[in-house]
């Protein structure tokens, strides 16, 4: 089983799809990496040699930001927006859609499950 950047790649998948299990690498990036290191994208992960895994690892670590480093950068960008008080930062802070989507309806993914309205309870007064 190949491990790259601390992530175990699924051994039964083709290399180009296996690399997409790394955070920050999509299909296009995976194909570019494999072209650069001259590895057949149709090869299975289990068929990779240690040398080929090392080549892929070296290419990814030198040319791409992935996993923890990328997550940290994204978090720092959001934190910066919140600190300067931008509109996008406020939307992140409040857990609302950031990119201009409507919120009267929809937006349930960002807002979470609906909150049930609480009926007005009248206090019972004793006579």
Question: Which tens digits make up the pLDDT trace of 104-118?
Answer: 889 999 989 988 887
| All domains in the chain, ordered by first residue | 3-64 (1.10.8.50), 68-100 (4.10.910.10)
pLDDT of 92 reads: 95
Q: CA–CA separation, 51 vs 54, rounded Å?
A: 5
> Contact, 63 vs 22, CB < 8 A?
no
Q: CA–CA separation, 24 vs 6, rounded Å?
A: 13
pLDDT of 99 reads: 92
Strands 7-8 and 3-4 turn out to be: antiparallel
pLDDT of 125 reads: 76
pLDDT of 49 reads: 92
Residue stretches of the chain with pLDDT short of 50: none
Segment holding 8, helix H or strand E:
strand 7-8
Q: CA–CA separation, 88 vs 77, rounded Å?
A: 11
Q: What is the pTM of this model?
A: 0.76
pLDDT of 80 reads: 97
Q: If DSSP codes are grouped into helix, strand and coil, which group holds residue 4? A: strand
């Amino acid at each position: 089983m190949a491990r790259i950047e601390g992530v175990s790649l699924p051994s039964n998948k083709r290399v180009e799809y296996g690399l997409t299990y790394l955070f920050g690498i999509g299909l296009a990036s995976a194909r570019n990496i494999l072209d650069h290191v001259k590895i057949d994208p149709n090869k299975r992960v289990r068929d990779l040699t240690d040398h080929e895994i090392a080549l892929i690892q070296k290419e990814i670590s030198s040319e791409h930001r992935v996993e923890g480093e990328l997550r940290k950068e994204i978090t720092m960008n959001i934190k910066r927006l919140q600190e300067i008080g931008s509109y996008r930062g406020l939307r992140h802070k409040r857990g609302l859609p950031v990119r201009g989507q409507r919120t009267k309806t929809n937006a349930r993914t960002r807002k979470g499950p609906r909150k049930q309205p609480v009926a007005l309870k009248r206090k019972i007064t004793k006579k």
